[in-house]
Chains A and B, each alone.
Chain A
């Protein structure tokens, strides 16, 4: 598996070439370099994963970790050092496939989507940088290497969100994304430092003695690390950056903010899973509750958003929360006995990456066609964009959990795992899953059914009410539809992959079997959600929708504003930190610390001015001083003797 090093080198090289020489390149060449290098990376990654899955089992038929490379990058002290290398395990091999496939699709798609855009070469350079960092993150051999690449994906995300750097909203969103995740990373770093200090290693699998040495501190360290993961994976209340991050180009949202980077937190917990489940089960369950709440919150908010990318963003938050919950409800490492959630979570990560990538790329095609993100500018698009329509529908069915699409299988495993944990948790997550079906089909109907915005505009134009001739929506070019079709195909068949054979909580093969009661119930719930959405939105403005809007006016408004959480954060940062801490400190520095030094200087000057008249140069004054001085000394001497 020596070739695995090239999985990292190729995207890095492509980044360097595009960043240094890109400016002088024609767009086509830059796009070709980026896409071809990524295609090569994808082939290598799939080959490596295949080789690993073919040969990775040990004598006990379990998959074990293989480390083809590991060097000491920065020795810290006698025991600790930051290593860099490549670690192959079932989940990292799976992630290699996910990342390179989605990234390749996004590269191809962007050839069409970003065509003629200013900064095209820069865009491809950043995409390469992101892919490099994300691959480095998943193959990390230790937690510190993970942190290093974690920061790098953060900065690539910052650069890509702010790609349209002349747009104020994009600037603000990129800044927000970076700072919020950095804030979470602070906890991650402290967690790593505690972990490193007490266990004496940064490795994912410390020895039993090291764990014993860490003792009760280990859960704290793991909790702090999870906060870092919650920041990247947009768990409540650190999710606020993700919806804003949609200001970036849509393919970027598909790659970074739907399929790969945002699942880094889930990946982190999965990576440390053996430690979590054995030594910090209470932390793991806390993760489950946080995840469950986030899933509900995001689903509620997603039901009322009007910007289609925002709906998808909140649906992403909700789906990632599903993965977190699945990890959180695990109680042992045995997949047959409480460890099912691990497999379910990774399975959902895999299928979600595909169908959510597809949804975002479809949304990109729609936005490309109508030049707007708002639902009001859409409607009736199924006639104009048949391929996008069909692929989008497939993705919606998958995310809603309708068999035989991939989402059904993975979500079903998650819900089974939840029922295994406790019945309330199972019921709760089934409810959220039904909401998923509802809001996704609301979105679907608003985009593709109902009255066509274009047709309305044409009527208005003909009646002379608007001056500009409306722009007719059209199907996207081949560069964009090919990835859509490919991902749709994957979404159709991915559910039948015997995923448990490859990934399970203890590395043994696990055969997925559907629990028929749960499967039927969740399918019925999903169909219920879809039916409700059909009644409410399929024909445009139905009577029920109007009634609901009137009756639920206040809750809908609150949900539309995401329950005012952003305002709370803004208040804390702008009002409290900036106005109540930073400014007073700056003032204090100038007017107290510095002024006291100035005061000393002035006092010295003043003293000088006071003493100066003594040196008047006037001989008579000097005589008086001299005589009075002499007299005084004489008197003193007389008094003494």
Chain B
């Protein structure tokens, strides 16, 4: 189960201030476990933890909030919308990884979704990518995107869809690259481009705009590609 260590080593490890993270979870054991995962990485600093979003944020600003979706028996999707609209980067993690839940979380403006069982590496990489306003697509998120049948779904190219599907199946970008006979870098590009298309769909949120802006800066998409869909049925051309 390899995470995307290649890109992370090159992009995120370039020195500077450490990324600050707050963790919100109502299970002390999970909270402690995730805290120890993140704290073990020198690029990350856990600044606050707790079982209540407002209390945790009151402790001060933070680059990324890692939010357990189900808090005290309630799904906190409205909280995700509220925070994302205000520009707070939210990474949602949950044991509820039904596609409908994941897509609702993306629509609400969360930067990423992570299934609780996806493990340490994905968790660290997701938080780091989120802090840089870059997409990170763990396999559970890829599965939700590839199975999306809503009429409002963004139009993915065949290559993007195939990359998502194979990534969801194998959880190994190296294996996907071999299968598709392209480089790992290109696999990641297809997957990330698919994710960025989701940032263009649904309600606008400050976090979505930040993802889009960074994607343009990184050359992942062209500015002229960012248009409101006139027709969801129209096919989208991949980058050459």
A and B part of one assembly: no
A interface residues (Cβ-Cβ under 8 A, vs B): none
